[in-house]
Structure 1
Amino acid sequence: MTVSKSTNIPFSRESLESLLKRRFFYAPSFEIYGGVAGLFDFGPPGCAFQNNIIDVWRKHFVLEEEMLEVEATMLTPYEVFKTSGHVDRFSDWMCKDLKTGEIFRADHLVEEVLESRLKGDKLARGETIIEDDDDKDKKKRKKNVKEIKNVKLDDEIVAEYENVLAQIDGYSGPQLGKLIEKFEIGNPATGGKLEPPIEFNLMFDTAIGPSGNLKAYLRPETAQGQFLNFNKLLEFNNEKMPFASASIGKSFRNEIAPRAGLLRVREFLMAEIEHFVDPEDKSHPKFNDVKDLKLRFLPKGVQESGSNELIEKSIGEAVSSGMVDNETLGYFIARIYLFLTKIGTDPNRLRFRQHMSNEMAHYASDCWDAELETSYGWIECVGCADRSAYDLSVHTARTGEKLVVRQALPEPKIVEEFEIDIAKKKFGPKFRKDAGKVEKWLTSRTQCELEDLSKELAEKCKINVDIPEVGATEVDSELIKIEKRTRTEHIREYTPNVIEPSFGIGRIFYSIIEHQFWARNDDADRGVLSLPPLVAPTKVLLVPLSNSQELQPIVKKVSQILRKEKIPFKVDDSSASIGKRYARNDELGTPFGITIDFDSIKDESVTLRERDSTKQVRGSIKDIVEAIKDITYNDVKWSEGTSNLQPFE
């Protein structure tokens, strides 16, 4: 495992999780009732840290990019998610033990078993595997996976396992079933045979109203509320394109096997952006501001070859070479990097992984995940996709409400298109209750489809089509006419494409904490969270040297100044030693400490301590508070912010 900061103590997930629960960053929900997997409650430091991340996110994206923030309901009718594709496709693959009924998520099972076999192979070859002995999850998995022994594997099998693991995110359910069968993977605890993988829809279903007739779901993402409000947002933006909306809120997914703390949960906070752009112009006016930023990429071609070797290049090079599809997508990838590093992620443990061809959503033209390396492996924390015009198009087709942009053309344009005329007086009596469905299906056809239908109508004087919810339908030439016509257009009408950065705040929360956790002075019990001051839950610990009443007026005065300046602080006037008090708050990530001593009574000077280096400087209350403000909120370095203060030993 990695060694962080100035310490020789290996990272221990058990020590970190103990600290997070002991200091109540978060804890399992309903714990005194035994808890429910995948649900967590956040305590005071966890709430503050999460809120600070969101505050930076709003300033970095919503404010900087002039986005339009919306808040949509978490309850969504069935029809919306049927149209968006979530009802049919928002699933994971699970397999069940035929005897015990135990359920496994198929891709995770294959991944863990193959990784364990590779470890057994390395041990059999005499290789050393550095592993955290305190890692309960790994020890438990080792104990449960009976088949994993120190067995040497053929080189071909090792290469095959590694190739499968490199592509594990891209396999379909049937492909996972073939892998389970090929590699003879069963229930790790019993060896029992598993059923072939089946799809499990991850949405929580519910009903709206006392009758229960209006079926609904708890949303699995915040995006649909933004798409459905597109026309209102466009009008609010004075019909100007491009523009972006943003939304922050809870989402829900009924995970098959919640695990890894905050990394896979059933209720979580998301922050999503929908940037609406002209499909014919995906350039970005501020791309030049970020084009020289170097990032680490894992393109789909590298993964599909069975490798995980990263490619480092500037985002400008990535876009110009075609590796990243367009400037707007590239711009947001760069902005995601700047956001994540600003709030405390280690840039050396951050990469952008492209979705493979068999993993890419059918409507997406390109998609990259910002992944952060943790003790659980590489974790997807942000997705950034070009969703093309899919979402607005399907909702337009379903509702008949045009979600489009209309722009005056600089010059009139001659257009030749197929158009369909319906003889409504005959059409209604012919199809009766299905007339609306048949008409809607006909009028929503593309130009290519209308051309084919026109040929069929001309040849046979009728068309035979299969219409959803109606079935096989015959429409003759007395009811419809399909002709190619020429018209002059003065307005261009188009459906915008959407670039969508989607942030999992809980995953970012945990990954930053793991990146910034270390032990001081080679003492495993002296944990430190080196959170950036900008996002630290509390910025200042106010420490009177003793609980003498003489110091209280200065404590009160400093408290009032910090409160007035809106700097979060905490007073610790307990009887513990000053070192102990600082150590307790190092665990909470508090970046600064102000010590008030008996000299403070004479000249109102105080001492400022920096958490990571433990360096101390002394100055007036005013100068100390000013230094804290500059370092915390103005991105000023410690050396610069304290240059007018006196070093203190």
Structure 2
Amino acid sequence: MANITVNKTVHPFDRARLESLLSRRFFYAPAFEIYGGVAGLYDYGPPGSSLNANIIAEWRKHFIVEEHMLELDTTIMTPATVFETSGHVARFADWMVKDKVTGDVLRADHLVKNVLQARLALDKEARGFAAEPVVEDPKQKKKKDKTKVKAVKLEDATVAEYEKILAQLDNYSGPELGQLCRDHKITNPDTDNEVSEPQEFNLMFASSIGPTGQHPGYLRPETAQGHFVNFARLLDFNNNRLPFASAQVGRSFRNEISPRAGLLRVREFTMAEIEHYVDPEDKSHERFDEVRDLELELLDRHVQVAGASHTARMTIGEAVDKGVIANQTLGYFVARIYQFLVKIGINPKRLRFRQHMGNEMAHYATDCWDAEIENSVGGWTECVGCADRAAYDLSVHSKKTGTPLIVRQQLAQPKVFEKEVVTYNKKNFGKTFGRDGNALQEIINNLDEPTLLKIKGELAQGSATITSLDGREFKLTPDHLSIDRKTIKESVREYTPNVIEPSFGLGRIMYCLLEHSFWSREQDVERGVLSLPAVVAPTKVLIVPLSTGHFDALVKDVSTKLRKAGVFSRVDDSSASIGKRYARNDELGTPFGVTLDFAC
């Protein structure tokens, strides 16, 4: 079978043959195919469903069980106010451009990337660099030959500029992407037409809740908000102790602009997300020493901003000690992500971790690293994100709802200090400011010590003025409030936890795993092999009776024992030769085989 084949002469990777195998053996297929399909929606067949389920099962063992996490299953349909508070309504968007003639919509950064990479490939061809040996589908090759683009040698300065742009691509804003299209004459490659200026497109699917649609909502683009709104319950379940983590596997939805990359870019997908809650003043991890010496390929933000894309190989301990990775807990999860991906079959030589640059950093993140897996469709593709979300999410939800999403820690030694304390004359304050009173109090309560001292001095002179966020001015007098220095004794520390979030795109991981596991024998190019690790293989054991009909009882007995032991097996009792039966089950990635013969 696939995993025990020895002395194999491997044929060069052929993506067309892999895609043919995945379609023919129904790993996955376009959803609603008989109706013409919808871009970005896929159905998993029997082997694909089993492979996905096995990846999830191993993920649960590796993280939830080994790290003692609290598992959740929260709703997909989410009230709009949740995503308005989290910032997704305002910021969860990509930049799109339109073909000025056909109206076709393209994602701006992908357009720039694809066009510049194509030009660099033609430049390499013109310079005589040998391309990687990839056998193409004859139909695709014939189609390409009709519209073959002549190789063109670029100026050295142009090559360097293109490479610098590609290294920094994720850091460009929408207007900057538009400028790149103009400066480098980037057009729609399918039509050669000019494209419009980039416009923001929110990726969330809008919906409504209730028979009259009175409650606007969205299909969640991530599972994370379900964790945060349940933080108080999770903390109570964990006996009010930090650190701890919650975890969830579930469906998410993103209305991708132009999904054209199979499972790498879809509109409905399965995510596995972890929210690890930690003290903002102590982001160490008790198990960090277990991974300290693990070496990874890291591409930090400074290298990318400089226009390069070379990685540095260093240990997780070195990366954290030097401040390349922000803290121990973030570094610990980067290491655990690596261990998980390699365990399920991702080629470690085609795996790297790339740090987000300033402009691409999510609005909630203070540091973020992507596990990028190399593949033939998207090059280096983000499959896992690991972000330090700081206290953003819990803070905004607490402020919006008035629910304290905080930790109260009993101090071993009471803390005594002096501070300026505001005391309101509620009657006069409410009478003067009316409905603006609550908002004004919130502004005052959030002022720092120097500002309070300044207002205190102004009040001593008769009055002080406070300016609201919308620019309105409010005049305060000693009749409204007083500010006095008082001695405070605190026996309990209150704080909002920070969150470290590893987020996994399981469909992307599955496709990369399939590609990394695929090969063909030189002597049997037409039949591919999937060398899937036994831990995730859809079928663990193939049962092959040597003769049809003579071993029915034995086949049933062996199959039943394997399945009762939790080992998924498959019987192939067709009339084909033993070799052919083994070979065609190599296509399914089955790692072990049992032949039943007359000696049994």
Same fold (TM over 0.5): yes
Tell me the secondary structure at the aligned position of residue 114 of structure 1. Answer: helix
Partner of 2:319: 318
Structure-2 change in CA distance of 1:394 and 1:542 (3 Å) = same
Q: Report the CA distance between 1:546 and its aligned residue.
A: 1.2
CA distance in structure 1 between the partners assigned to 2:237 and 2:509 by the alignment: 32
Counterpart of 2:165 in structure 1: which amino acid?
V
CA distance in structure 2 between the partners assigned to 1:513 and 1:460 by the alignment: 74
Match of 2:79 among 77, 80, 100: 77
C-alpha distance after superposition, 1:263-288 (max 9, x if no partner): 00000000000111111111111111
Counterpart of 1:158 in structure 2: which amino acid?
V
Partner of 2:161: 160
Structure-2 change in CA distance of 1:460 and 1:55 (3 Å) = farther
Partner of 2:504: 503
Q: Report the CA distance between 1:435 and its aligned residue.
A: 4.3
Partner of 2:592: 592
Which shows bigger deviation, 325-334 or 358-367? 358-367
Q: Report the CA distance between 1:145 and its aligned residue.
A: 9.4
Q: Report matched runs for 1:554-573 at 5 Å.
A: 554-573=554-573
Of structures 1 and 2, the one scoring higher in RCO (CA 8 A, sep 6+) is: 2
CA distance in structure 2 between the partners assigned to 1:324 and 1:247 by the alignment: 25
CA distance in structure 2 between the partners assigned to 1:346 and 1:539 by the alignment: 21
Partner of 1:518: 519
Which shows bigger deviation, 269-278 or 557-566? 557-566
C-alpha distance after superposition, 1:582-632 (max 9, x if no partner): 1121101111111111111xxxxxxxxxxxxxxxxxxxxxxxxxxxxxxxx
Partner of 2:115: 113
Q: Report matched runs for 1:476-625 at 5 Å.
A: 476-477=476-477, 478-548=479-549, 550-600=550-600
Q: Report the CA distance between 1:444 and its aligned residue.
A: 4.9
Q: Report matched runs for 1:397-436 at 5 Å.
A: 397-436=399-438
Which shows bigger deviation, 350-359 or 428-437? 428-437
Partner of 1:256: 257
User: Does structure 1 conserve the Cα–Cα contact (< 8 Å) formed by 2:389 and 2:498?
Assistant: yes
Partner of 1:611: none
Structure-2 change in CA distance of 1:475 and 1:26 (3 Å) = farther
Structure-2 change in CA distance of 1:140 and 1:154 (3 Å) = farther
User: Does structure 2 conserve the Cα–Cα contact (< 8 Å) formed by 1:543 and 1:578?
Assistant: yes
User: Does structure 2 conserve the Cα–Cα contact (< 8 Å) formed by 1:381 and 1:508?
Assistant: yes
Partner of 1:123: 125
Q: Report the CA distance between 1:68 and its aligned residue.
A: 0.4
CA distance in structure 2 between the partners assigned to 1:135 and 1:349 by the alignment: 24
Tell me the secondary structure at the aligned position of residue 514 of structure 1. Answer: helix
Tell me the secondary structure at the aligned position of residue 502 of structure 1. Answer: strand
Counterpart of 1:124 in structure 2: which amino acid?
A
Counterpart of 1:162 in structure 2: which amino acid?
E
Partner of 2:3: none
Q: Report the CA distance between 1:387 and its aligned residue.
A: 1.1
Which shows bigger deviation, 125-134 or 236-245? 125-134
Q: Report the CA distance between 1:520 and its aligned residue.
A: 2.3
User: Does structure 1 conserve the Cα–Cα contact (< 8 Å) formed by 2:455 and 2:464?
Assistant: no
CA distance in structure 2 between the partners assigned to 1:551 and 1:366 by the alignment: 61
User: Does structure 2 conserve the Cα–Cα contact (< 8 Å) formed by 1:144 and 1:189?
Assistant: no
Residue segments in structure 2 that go unaligned for 5+ positions in a row = 1-5
Tell me the secondary structure at the aligned position of residue 509 of structure 1. Answer: helix
CA distance in structure 2 between the partners assigned to 1:50 and 1:190 by the alignment: 38
Query: How many residue pairs end up in the alignment?
Result: 593
User: Does structure 1 conserve the Cα–Cα contact (< 8 Å) formed by 2:13 and 2:135?
Assistant: no
CA distance in structure 2 between the partners assigned to 1:267 and 1:184 by the alignment: 34
Q: Report the CA distance between 1:551 and its aligned residue.
A: 1.4
Q: TM-score scaled to structure 2, two decimals?
A: 0.93
Partner of 1:14: 16
Q: Report the CA distance between 1:426 and its aligned residue.
A: 3.7
User: Does structure 1 conserve the Cα–Cα contact (< 8 Å) formed by 2:443 and 2:468?
Assistant: no
Partner of 1:387: 389
C-alpha distance after superposition, 1:371-399 (max 9, x if no partner): 11100201111111111111111111211
C-alpha distance after superposition, 1:125-148 (max 9, x if no partner): 2333336352699979979999x6
Structure-2 change in CA distance of 1:424 and 1:139 (3 Å) = farther
CA distance in structure 2 between the partners assigned to 1:138 and 1:466 by the alignment: 63
C-alpha distance after superposition, 1:188-222 (max 9, x if no partner): 23332222111100001111112212111111001
Partner of 1:378: 380
Partner of 2:70: 68
Partner of 1:396: 398
Q: Report matched runs for 1:203-222 at 5 Å.
A: 203-222=204-223
Q: Report the CA distance between 1:153 and its aligned residue.
A: 1.6
Residue segments in structure 1 that go unaligned for 5+ positions in a row = 601-649
Q: Report matched runs for 1:299-314 at 5 Å.
A: 299-314=300-315
CA distance in structure 1 between the partners assigned to 2:194 and 2:458 by the alignment: 53
Tell me the secondary structure at the aligned position of residue 185 of structure 1. Answer: coil
Which shows bigger deviation, 555-564 or 456-465? 456-465
Partner of 1:234: 235
CA distance in structure 1 between the partners assigned to 2:270 and 2:406 by the alignment: 30
CA distance in structure 1 between the partners assigned to 2:460 and 2:144 by the alignment: 69
Q: Report the CA distance between 1:460 and its aligned residue.
A: 7.2
Q: Report the CA distance between 1:437 and its aligned residue.
A: 4.2
User: Does structure 1 conserve the Cα–Cα contact (< 8 Å) formed by 2:77 and 2:220?
Assistant: yes
CA distance in structure 1 between the partners assigned to 2:321 and 2:457 by the alignment: 43
Tell me the secondary structure at the aligned position of residue 538 of structure 2. Answer: coil
CA distance in structure 2 between the partners assigned to 1:40 and 1:66 by the alignment: 33
1:295 aligns with 2:296: yes
CA distance in structure 2 between the partners assigned to 1:88 and 1:358 by the alignment: 16
CA distance in structure 1 between the partners assigned to 2:264 and 2:436 by the alignment: 47
Structure-2 change in CA distance of 1:26 and 1:100 (3 Å) = same
CA distance in structure 2 between the partners assigned to 1:461 and 1:143 by the alignment: 81
Tell me the secondary structure at the aligned position of residue 525 of structure 1. Answer: strand
User: Does structure 2 conserve the Cα–Cα contact (< 8 Å) formed by 1:293 and 1:334?
Assistant: yes
Counterpart of 2:159 in structure 1: which amino acid?
V
% identical aligned pairs: 58
Tell me the secondary structure at the aligned position of residue 560 of structure 2. Answer: helix
User: Does structure 2 conserve the Cα–Cα contact (< 8 Å) formed by 1:145 and 1:188?
Assistant: no
Q: Report matched runs for 1:186-205 at 5 Å.
A: 186-205=187-206
CA distance in structure 2 between the partners assigned to 1:265 and 1:241 by the alignment: 36
Partner of 1:344: 345
User: Does structure 1 conserve the Cα–Cα contact (< 8 Å) formed by 2:13 and 2:133?
Assistant: no
Match of 1:28 among 27, 30, 39: 30
User: Does structure 2 conserve the Cα–Cα contact (< 8 Å) formed by 1:7 and 1:518?
Assistant: no
Match of 1:42 among 44, 62, 70: 44
1:96 aligns with 2:86: no
Q: Report the CA distance between 1:313 and its aligned residue.
A: 1.3
Partner of 1:225: 226
CA distance in structure 2 between the partners assigned to 1:140 and 1:221 by the alignment: 41
Which shows bigger deviation, 292-301 or 183-192? 183-192
CA distance in structure 2 between the partners assigned to 1:449 and 1:391 by the alignment: 27
Counterpart of 1:561 in structure 2: which amino acid?
K
Q: Report the CA distance between 1:307 and its aligned residue.
A: 1.7
CA distance in structure 2 between the partners assigned to 1:484 and 1:352 by the alignment: 50
CA distance in structure 2 between the partners assigned to 1:137 and 1:462 by the alignment: 78
User: Does structure 1 conserve the Cα–Cα contact (< 8 Å) formed by 2:299 and 2:312?
Assistant: yes
User: Does structure 2 conserve the Cα–Cα contact (< 8 Å) formed by 1:540 and 1:591?
Assistant: yes
User: Does structure 2 conserve the Cα–Cα contact (< 8 Å) formed by 1:19 and 1:587?
Assistant: yes
Structure-2 change in CA distance of 1:28 and 1:444 (3 Å) = farther
Q: Report the CA distance between 1:107 and its aligned residue.
A: 0.3
User: Does structure 1 conserve the Cα–Cα contact (< 8 Å) formed by 2:94 and 2:107?
Assistant: yes
Counterpart of 2:93 in structure 1: which amino acid?
S
